[in-house]
Amino acid sequence: MEERFVDNRYLTDMLSMVLSFDNESIQNLSAELQSEVYQSLQNVKLEFDKLI
């Protein structure tokens, strides 16, 4: 298995972004902003998936 160096600050930043959202705060956003949040979270998930 190939080992890769991952900057922990990068992972911490992504995790902070994910944890900053909760269902209640997202529900209070406009539909357009909800879509942007969803897309951002999807992008973070894709980045994590690359690391696995």
Q: Give one DSSP letter per residue of 1-52, joined into a string.
A: -------HHHHHHHHHHHHT--HHHHHTS-HHHHHHHHHHHHHHHHHHHHH-
- Name the band, by pLDDT with cuts 50, 70 and 90, for residue 23: confident
Domain extents for the chain? 26-52
Task: Give the pLDDT mean for 1-16.
Answer: 72
Summarised one tens digit per residue, pLDDT across range 10-19 is: 778 877 877 7
Count of residues for the chain?
A: 52
pLDDT at 41: 83
- Name the band, by pLDDT with cuts 50, 70 and 90, for residue 32: very high
